[in-house]
Amino acid sequence: MKTLRFILGDQLSHSISSLEGVDRQEDVVFMCEVHDEAIYVKHHKKKIAFLFSAMRHFAAELRDKNFKVDYLHLDDEKSHTSFTSALGNAIAQHNPDRVIVTHPGEYRVLKDLEAFAADSSIPIEIVDDTRFLCSIDHFHKWAEGRKSLRMEYFYREMRRKYHILMDGDHPEGGAWNYDSENRKPPKEDLSVPEAEGFEPDAITREVLDLVANRFSAHFGDLEPFDLAVTRKQALTVLRRFISDKLPLFGDFQDAMVQGEPVMFHAKISFYLNCGLLNPKECIAAAEQAYHDGQTPLNAAEGFIRQILGWREYVRGVYWLNMPDYAHANYLEADRRLPAFYWTGETKLNCLRQCVLETKQNAYAHHIQRLMVLGNFALLAGIHPDEVNEWYLLVYADAYEWVEMPNVTGMILYADGGYLASKPYAAGGSYINKMSDYCSQCSYKVTVKNGPKACPFNYLYWDFIMRNREKLESNHRVGMMMKTLDRMGDQKRDAIRDDTKRFFREIGI
């Protein structure tokens, strides 16, 4: 039976389920670069270049292994705007008996595939994505009947299932997580190892020229470009992280330092989310480093929790709740995204640093995304549609399955607490504690009101006042409500006046 095996751009794994049982003499692997996938949001130029280059390298590796590969370049004469149009043309050309494709990561892609399959004259088989450690069906069964879906309980089940960092039936070290040890602020003499980078080869150079010519109006800096674009390079990034950064990752994973966009983070989410790395090998490498005495337990556990716990969990939440989840707006946020999210032109140094580093690298680590960029969007009441689009657009590791739960649920509390137990709102003191940004800011983090005050300070209390009715039943916000009640009318009026003035200044 001749099979056309369709590989999507985020499925660049040699063990992808759509390649299982392949007949290299008969079957054809089909891959395509299509315009619609690059512009359905105007993705960061570096993100487009990364994926196109990784796709082309992956196709070359398959050919080296004697696979029959039909690869459609964006600039080919026979190029198509949509992947369904390209797939239809490939079916007509190769005349297979069936098409196999691994379950896509995004709801819209699944719906397009299902609609295509319904009209197809041959079977289109959508098979499970076995790269993930928790299938969509298993997550549905885990979630069934639960009043709340707390990641911690899901994570513990996954630890038990795969026997990761376990001592018999108990967690290694006696605790399930060591988050309380992983919140150290940066030290003045902290030395961060240099991140691994790679010189673009001829394939990548060709892609960079293509992106520069075709997507010049998109956000972000295209060069310098030093991302891994092959599995071999991605494995090098993983090994360097395990040896050089993992030992201090736990301690300083929440820390932010000006001029150090990566800090002790692995920066492997690019490669995990497109298939160049698989989660099992990343988890095994960290666990082995702990057992070999090369890294402390809090670091190994914190890293593993992000992959085995959080990454698998948000995917489950996404597929459990789509398409309704895309429309969640519990706090009825309605403001526009400020222009400085695109330009970095703001007097708030923390936001300026995070936006400019995002523009340069198509990357920011999780605390920059959550507690600076996301915290501002939450406090300011930016509409979830605008925030979701921005995060999906600017980060090279962003796909809707991972981006939307993190933004809608974790950052914006737009799902009303379905994912997060409380809004992750904070004033300027948190950013000052966890970074060195505030010392070089135009505003004063210790000042609470007035033109010189850090806007996060009064925006925080305006957020609490504005959303009191929807938040006061949350016991984790109870202390803040009591503090608010102790404020006098004059103080509350000053908060509202400062907030209105600031919003006028930034044009939202």
Rounded Cα gap, residues 310 and 279, in angstroms: 12
HEC readout, 154-218 = HHHHHHHHHCCCEECCEEHHHCCCCHHHCCCCCCCCCCCCCCCCCCCCHHHHHHHHHHHHHCCCC
Total Cβ atoms within 10 A of residue 120 = 16
Rounded Cα gap, residues 498 and 162, in angstroms: 52
CA-to-CA dists, residue 58 to 11, 16, 30, 198, 243, angstroms: 10, 12, 12, 17, 27
Q: Over the stretch 343-381, which tens digit does the pLDDT of each residue have? A: 999 999 999 999 999 999 999 999 999 999 999 999 999
Q: Please provide the size of the chain in residues.
A: 508
Q: Which residue has the tokens 């003035």?
A: 501
Rounded Cα gap, residues 7 and 116, in angstroms: 16
Q: Which residues of the chain have pLDDT under 50?
A: none
Task: With residue 4 as reference, give the H or E element that holds it.
Answer: strand 3-6
Question: Would you state the pLDDT for residue 285?
Answer: 98
Question: Would you state the pLDDT for residue 149?
Answer: 87
Question: What is the 8-class DSSP label of residue 187?
Answer: P
Question: What is the 8-class DSSP label of residue 104?
Answer: P
Total Cβ atoms within 10 A of residue 483 = 11
Rounded Cα gap, residues 375 and 100, in angstroms: 42
Question: Would you state the pLDDT for residue 79?
Answer: 72
Q: Which residue has the tokens 């004259």?
A: 121
Asked if 296 and 475 count as a contact pair (C-beta separation under 8 A), the reply is no
Q: What pTM was estimated for this model as a whole?
A: 0.96
Rounded Cα gap, residues 229 and 225, in angstroms: 11
Rounded Cα gap, residues 69 and 59, in angstroms: 7
Q: Over the stretch 80-105, which tens digit does the pLDDT of each residue have? A: 789 999 999 999 999 999 999 999 99
CA-to-CA dists, residue 354 to 192, 248, 345, 396, 403, angstroms: 18, 22, 11, 15, 17
Total Cβ atoms within 10 A of residue 502 = 18
Rounded Cα gap, residues 233 and 500, in angstroms: 49
Asked if 35 and 252 count as a contact pair (C-beta separation under 8 A), the reply is no
Query: Around 389, how many Cα atoms within 13 Å sit in the side-chain half-sphere?
Result: 15
All domains in the chain, ordered by first residue: 3-127 (3.40.50.620), 136-321 (1.25.40.80), 340-506 (1.10.579.10)
Rounded Cα gap, residues 338 and 503, in angstroms: 9
Rounded Cα gap, residues 305 and 504, in angstroms: 41
